[in-house]
Amino acid sequence: MSLALSSQFRGTPPLQQKFSLRSSLPVRQNSLWRIDAGAVRTLTWLEDGTNISTGIWGPGDMVGKALSTVDPYQIECLTAVDATLLPIENGQIPAEWLLTHLQHAEALIVIRSYRRVDTMLVKLLAWLAKRFGRSVNSGNLIDLRLTHQDLAELVGTTRVTITRTLGQFEEQGLIERLSLHRILLKAYDTWHYEI
């Protein structure tokens, strides 16, 4: 544990836990979860039940109600997850944690700002490949097992639109859809989508 981290938790030691795919991390006041392995998404929902993803977070990222003003607030596992519950002393969140959280949230805001769904989706896939992908022979594998509904909630559209757009991307040879909702983004480093 780093010096900055250990100085935050003088009284209560961090609590490490394992969570399964699609389970929820408990939301605790005055605590944050550090994602040690795996990926989660944070989300809220509207009065009509529409889910809104507010971010996707991976190893090293901090998530928790202390970093959000949305209500309701949920943390859902996109993979199996190892996480550590870190109590916040005196309500003080270290600046480096806030900065990282803000930068990832800001990236998603920019992606959502594009007017066309196909552009939003291609930017989202590139961001996911950069943050969560791993290089394979023919591109970058995004191994988050995101459903079409998950992708729709990330960019603010319908599942049907995502399914249609992914089909177009596949026909154009930009992606390959694999089993278990995984996506292979082809030739990521030289790939440019024509708008």
Does 76 lie in the same domain as 11? yes
Residues 16 and 78 in one domain: yes
pLDDT tens for 35-63 read 999 999 999 999 998 899 999 999 999 99
Residues 56 and 149 in one domain: no
How many other CB atoms are there within 10 angstroms of residue 193's CB atom?
A: 14
Return the higher-pLDDT residue of 45 and 190: 45
Where is the domain boundary, 109, 139, 159?
A: 109
Q: Are residues 131 and 152 in the same domain?
A: yes
In the predicted model, is pLDDT for residue 94 greater than 60? Answer: yes
Among 147, 145, 141, smallest CA distance to 176 is for 141
Task: Check whether residue 173 and residue 125 sit in a common domain.
Answer: yes
Whole-prediction pTM: 0.83
- Pick 145 or 36 by higher pLDDT: 36
Are 133 and 68 contained in the same domain? no
Mean pLDDT (whole number) for 74-103: 90
Which residue, of 44, 78, 109, is where some domain finishes?
A: 109
What value does the mean pLDDT of the chain take?
Answer: 87
Do 7 and 83 reside in the same domain of the chain?
yes
Which of 146, 8, 1, 149 shows the shortest CA–CA distance to 79? 146
Find the CATH number of the domain harbouring 32. 2.60.120.10
- pLDDT confidence tier of residue 14, bands split at 50, 70 and 90: confident
**pLDDT at residue 31, as a whole number:** 92
Instruction: Tell me if 9 is assigned to some domain.
Output: yes
- What total of structural domains would you count in the chain? 2
Do 126 and 91 fall into the same domain?
A: no
Residue 188: pLDDT band (50, 70, 90) is: very low
CATH number at residue 174: 1.10.10.10
Domain that holds residue 166: 114-190
Please tell me whether residues 100 and 130 are part of one structural domain. no
Give yes or no: residues 31 and 104 share one domain: yes
In a domain, 195, yes or no: no
Residue-wise pLDDT for 151-184, tens only, equals: 999 999 999 999 999 999 999 999 988 877 788 8
- The answer to whether position 21 is within a domain reads yes
pLDDT on residue 119 = 94
Does 130 map to a domain? yes
